[in-house]
Amino acid sequence: MTDFNVVPPTDQIPKEPDETRPHKPADDREEVYFHGSPMLRGEIARFILFIVIGAVLILLPFGIDLFSGPGRNVPWWVYVGLSCSG
């Protein structure tokens, strides 16, 4: 019986490509084209964007109350609503 799972010795494997082997054998060299996941970088940018939007929503009634002048106060439920939204 012939065993088809036998690996040929390394001296029988040609080192350079020729007509029978169009590609050179694979080596163990690992090349890194980028560091980190592009998806992770996008998630960090989205996280920072949501932090900024939340801070603007929370600070919006305080800014309106501060710059609107005397007599125009923001109702309490606007503070609660925008703080919960933020």
CA dist., res. 86 & res. 79, Å (int):
10
Contact 52, 21 (CB under 8 A): no
What is the chain's alpha carbon radius of gyration, rounded to the nearest angstrom?
Answer: 33
One pLDDT digit (tens) per residue for the chain, 86 residues: 566 667 766 666 556 666 666 666 667 777 766 666 667 778 888 999 999 999 999 998 888 888 877 777 788 888 888 888 88
**For residue 56, what pLDDT is reported?**
92
3-state secondary structure of 10: helix
**For residue 61, what pLDDT is reported?**
87
Residue 43 sits at the vertex; the CA angle it makes with 40 and 44, to the nearest 5 degrees, is 90
